[in-house]
Every structure is written in structure tokens, then in C-alpha cells.
């Protein structure tokens, strides 16, 4: 009797649009590379006037041991800061502690405006 091998992992293009970067105090919610919502982790409230909302993620910033900040156009990884530099006002967040997919209920609760 032959053994059935598990189906290979999906290797096509990523179809999920939403991603959430978690920092110490804040969650940054993205649809593609655009920040669509920012939420305070302590209160759970969306911060509609946050400078990151409706901005495009430029990349990440990695801090070296000597304190030098090294920007990158690659998506931020855990341990790096998020960098927004698209409209002349640069914004660098605190360090990313997690990258997750937001739950559907949370995506449905994003502020519109």
C-alpha cells in the first residue's frame, strides 16, 4: 500500500492583504503597504489621528549595537522599527515585537475616513 504524501505548501503569490506590526504600545495595521489603522494596545482604541494612518510603509530601520540606525526598503522584521518616509515627514516607530495577521473582526472594525 502506498503512502499518501502531504500536499505541498502553497507556493504561489501571497493573497492575504492584511498584516499587523506590533510594537510595545501600538499595533500598526496594513492593507498591502498602506497603514489603514493604528491601535493602542493598552486601551484597544484606534488612534485615527496617528501620523502613520494612510501612509505607505517605506521599510524598516535596524539599529546596530553602536546605536547607528540603518534604514532598509525591505519590509520590517521583528527587532526593527517601521519607517514611513513617503510624504516628507519621516516617522520611525519603536521596535517591532511581532508580525501577525489581524482577526477578521478586527479588520471589520477599522475606522473609515
Per the model's pLDDT, the better-predicted residue between 40 and 5 turns out to be 40
CB neighbourhood size of 63 (10 A): 13
pLDDT at residue 1 is higher than 50 = no
Q: Are 23 and 94 in contact (CB under 8 A)?
A: yes
44-68 pLDDT, tens digit each: 999 999 999 999 999 999 999 999 9
Q: For residues 92 and 95, what is the distance between their CA atoms, to the nearest angstrom?
A: 9
Assign 12 to helix, strand or coil.
Answer: coil
What DSSP letter does each residue of 47-101 carry, written as one string? -TT-TTTT-B--EEEEE-TTS-EEEESSPP-TTSEEEE-TTS--EEEEE--EEEP
pLDDT at residue 4 is higher than 50 = no
Residue-range domain boundaries for the chain: 18-108
pLDDT at residue 10 is higher than 80 = no
**pLDDT mean over 4-29:** 76
- This prediction has a pTM of 0.83
Amino acid at each position: 500500500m502506498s503512502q499518501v504524501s502531504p500536499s505541498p505548501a502553497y507556493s504561489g503569490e501571497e493573497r492575504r492583504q492584511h498584516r499587523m506590526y506590533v510594537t510595545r504600545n501600538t499595533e500598526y495595521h496594513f492593507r498591502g503597504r498602506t497603514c489603514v489603522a493604528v491601535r493602542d494596545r493598552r486601551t484597544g482604541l484606534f488612534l485615527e489621528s496617528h501620523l502613520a494612518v494612510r501612509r505607505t510603509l517605506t521599510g524598516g530601520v535596524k539599529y546596530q549595537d553602536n546605536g547607528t540606525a540603518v534604514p532598509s526598503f525591505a519590509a520590517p522584521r521583528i527587532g526593527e522599527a517601521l519607517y514611513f518616509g513617503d510624504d516628507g515627514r519621516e516617522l520611525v516607530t519603536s521596535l517591532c515585537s511581532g508580525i501577525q495577521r489581524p482577526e477578521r473582526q478586527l479588520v471589520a472594525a477599522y475606522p473609515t475616513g
